[in-house]
Chain A
């Protein structure tokens, strides 16, 4: 079952029409996911021991996956990037701003250690004024496959994202001294996640993570206003761009 295509999930949303368009996509995906869950529930209705065991196992898996996602968000918020990367499977991929980063030790490490670290990206942030996501967009979805070996999820996010100010001025260089020199903004959207259970140690890992951005605003905490901004997607792959993705999507 495929909830999202990578291309669909990384559409940059600059207006209500695109948000509506995304909701349609999300709605289709959620319907399929709910259908899967319904299948589970029907099996449960017979009340067999097997189905009860499956239900319990599913609940435990859901609990573990929510915990995994909390670990991810907390580690990212605190800038513990090694801890973030450790949550991914070896062959995982992350789709972020039009770029696909492949492999935990390669592309994903590059994304977090170089791109996120240099741009102060990923920290939790309050929603920009006037940019609250619709309630349907804030719904969490979590569906564990009946074989309990994979799962898919949708979790909302509200984070700070940034881009280094590419300027040769002393102001930019000095700002970099204290970890700034970054143009920062707010992004809201949903994480679209695929999980797999590691066959060796039985732990859940992130197989694929797509940042599906629904809104972006020029906003910083404490400011009284926010305005929509457009952010160019990745246009150059690694290694031409030393922080770039392995593929453009």
Chain B
């Protein structure tokens, strides 16, 4: 798949179309690995807490009969075992639902996933205080409801059932399924997965899906993710973390609208573990979506769906708004004065005051002259137009004798800004050239790094050495506290993407989303990080990360109906772990 998932226009399959496509699954799921026969000829009654009672009889030919609420159902199923867990999956013919059932044959404890399509579930994309923007979830999005129970042998409900857990949170795994599919999965949140499709996709981008984590026993965990806002496909498996093996099922419709309903085995490698930041006595037994006062509706889960409320502006609409209002550093009419992103910022520096220099970027890149005599105002000239401009700017000293500053390009169309690192010790400069507009939205930003040198009296400039794109941060995770009110955990998940996770009140990692990004190495331990929240809110964050002091500082560049904002942003950080995943990335030998 070449089109990134967040840009791909998935078909709005109708309920009728889905019903027709499900007919292809009449014989049950497929599997590369041989199905097991642990349930052949057996009958069992599964009693669930707050859920259905399911009475199964299994034949010897992958056929079962199910009695559910007095209704008799005949279906085909698939079965795979992993240690003492037997997992089977089946659909209910004529209905758009099925069951994935994990039975621990040693304890008789059971976790049941009811899955269904064409849910009709309504959600609200409006923010607090904003008008309700009700929409219906896509019919193709697989829904799930998890029930915990037991195989009834007359013993009554056990005191301890399988349970939700935070014990998987923070782990990262590489999985390779028996069908050759490889994924990197970062379980960095109790409610999401940040995953990379290493074989299905070509771009090594990480994406986020909503997930649940279930504890079966200390080595055995049951997991699922649903690619909400993308294809809606559902992946569900049990994993044994002693031997790092999985068996599971994938169910739903892919980017070609084909039904995928197959079971798999897989082998894994644990790639790392992030620190737990929640209290030591928090075990995650209550999922985030069930912490309110009212019982959650069937299928409830947290899924961040940002593009639903992201208005689309054309390039012309965006520029008209920019002409009305371009605000720099929270000054001017319409300025966003929200300080939740700046409470822990680094101080502004006068490192540029009194300096006159030229930034010369490679490959025909821009050449800009600067003369600066004030801490907050500068003069610059692009040698292509040879006109001196005055602009507000803010600068940090991001590392010793390293200036990091930003300003808007006045009167630019589309509205543009630059974020510039100037290394006065090494004569190097990098500029992130940013402007409003992408091929998708006028109100998204586009950025590109340009590398070059700084020319200044008394400073030698190198001919060959340059700042460069880097993958040194890949796999690292930092929590960034922008203020005492706002903290976000950044996981630099791939060479071209990252995810961010919001903490709950007790510092459990919860809601999560992702974006493409770039990393530039400026000095050892000092990096530029630039991301655009694509198909989200279009906002761009451009930070200098100084890992030596666990602090970042930088800028955000955003546009919308109320104009363009260039603002400062910065945070104090905590390094909370690293995944050893870099070796999985890069161009691969692929089948033609």
Contacts and interface: CB of A to CB of B under 8 A. Distances in A.
A242 B533 contact: no
B352 interface: no
A32 B34 CA distance: 86
Contacts of A178: 288, 291, 302, 502, 504, 510-511
B288 A176 contact: no
B340 A183 contact: yes
A235 B51 CA distance: 49
Nearest to A242: B129
A168 B513 contact: no
Contact of B502 (A79, A80, A118, A174): A174
A177 B510 contact: yes
Interface in A156-184: 164-181, 183
Contacts of B128: 118, 164, 176, 181
Contacts of B291: 178-179
A78 interface: yes
Contact of A171 (B127, B484, B486, B560): B486
Given A177-B511, A242-B129, A170 B306 contact: yes
Contacts of B293: 78-80
A58 B399 CA distance: 72
Nearest to A182: B485
B539 A169 contact: yes
Interface string B505-526: 1000011110000000000000
B292 A170 contact: no
Contacts of B302: 177-178
Contact of A170 (B129, B336, B485, B536): B536
A164 B340 CA distance: 11
A126 interface: no
Contacts of A171: 341, 482, 486, 488, 500, 502
B345 to A, nearest CB: 15
A91 B486 CA distance: 40
Q: Which of A164, A166, A177, A181 has most B Cβ within 10 Å?
A: A177
A180 B338 contact: no
Interface in A137-167: 164-167
Interface string B244-274: 0000000000000000000000000000000
A243 interface: yes
A218 interface: yes
Interface residues of B, number: 34
B484 to A, nearest CB: 7
B288 A170 contact: no
B338 A174 contact: no
Contacts of B504: 178, 180
B224 interface: no
A169 to B, nearest CB: 7
A183 B341 CA distance: 13
B537 A169 contact: yes
Nearest to A118: B128
Contacts of B370: none
A231 B511 CA distance: 28
Chain B CB within 10 A, most for which of A78, A175, A180, A243: A175
Nearest to A181: B128
Contacts of B336: 168
A168 B537 contact: yes
A79 B291 CA distance: 12
B292 A179 contact: yes
Contacts of A118: 128-129
Interface in B307-324: 309
A169 B341 contact: yes
A158 B358 CA distance: 59
Main secondary structure of the interface of B (DSSP, over half): loop
B304 interface: yes
A199 B486 CA distance: 50
Contact of B338 (A79, A165, A173, A243): A165
Interface string A86-125: 0000000000000000000000000000000010000000
Given A79-B293, A165-B486, A173 B306 contact: yes
B484 A218 contact: yes
B399 to A, nearest CB: 26
Contacts of A164: 128-129
B537 A170 contact: yes
A80 B129 CA distance: 21
A173 B539 CA distance: 13
A189 B306 CA distance: 40
B502 A175 contact: yes
B127 A176 contact: yes
Given A78-B293, A164-B128, A177 B304 contact: yes
A168 B511 contact: no
A103 B247 CA distance: 59
Interface in B336-381: 336, 338, 340-341
A176 to B, nearest CB: 6
A42 B502 CA distance: 62
A177 B504 CA distance: 10
A242 B127 CA distance: 13
A78 B291 CA distance: 12
Contact of A165 (B340, B488, B500, B536): B340
A174 B511 contact: yes
A86 B488 CA distance: 39
A167 B340 contact: yes
A162 to B, nearest CB: 10
Contacts of B513: 170, 174
Nearest to A223: B484
B340 A173 contact: no
A159 B581 CA distance: 46
A48 to B, nearest CB: 50
A172 B340 contact: yes
A33 B172 CA distance: 65
A245 B512 CA distance: 35
Interface in A58-104: 78-80
A165 B339 CA distance: 10
A181 B505 CA distance: 10
Contacts of B484: 218
Contacts of B304: 170, 173-174, 177
Contacts of A177: 302, 304, 502, 510-511
B535 to A, nearest CB: 11
A177 B189 CA distance: 14
Contacts of A181: 128
Contacts of A78: 293
Q: Which 9 A-B pairs have the closest CB atoms?
A: A174-B511, A174-B502, A177-B511, A167-B338, A79-B293, A178-B510, A175-B502, A183-B485, A177-B302
Given A118-B129, A168-B537, 11 more contacts: A78-B293, A167-B340, A168-B558, A170-B537, A171-B488, A173-B309, A173-B537, A175-B502, A176-B127, A180-B504, A180-B505
Interface of A: 78-80, 118, 164-181, 183, 218, 242-243
Interface of B: 127-129, 288, 291-293, 302, 304, 306, 309, 336, 338, 340-341, 482, 484-486, 488, 500, 502, 504-505, 510-513, 533, 536-537, 539, 558, 560
17 contacts: A78-B293, A118-B128, A118-B129, A164-B128, A165-B340, A168-B537, A169-B338, A170-B304, A171-B341, A172-B340, A173-B309, A174-B502, A177-B502, A178-B288, A178-B291, A179-B291, A183-B485
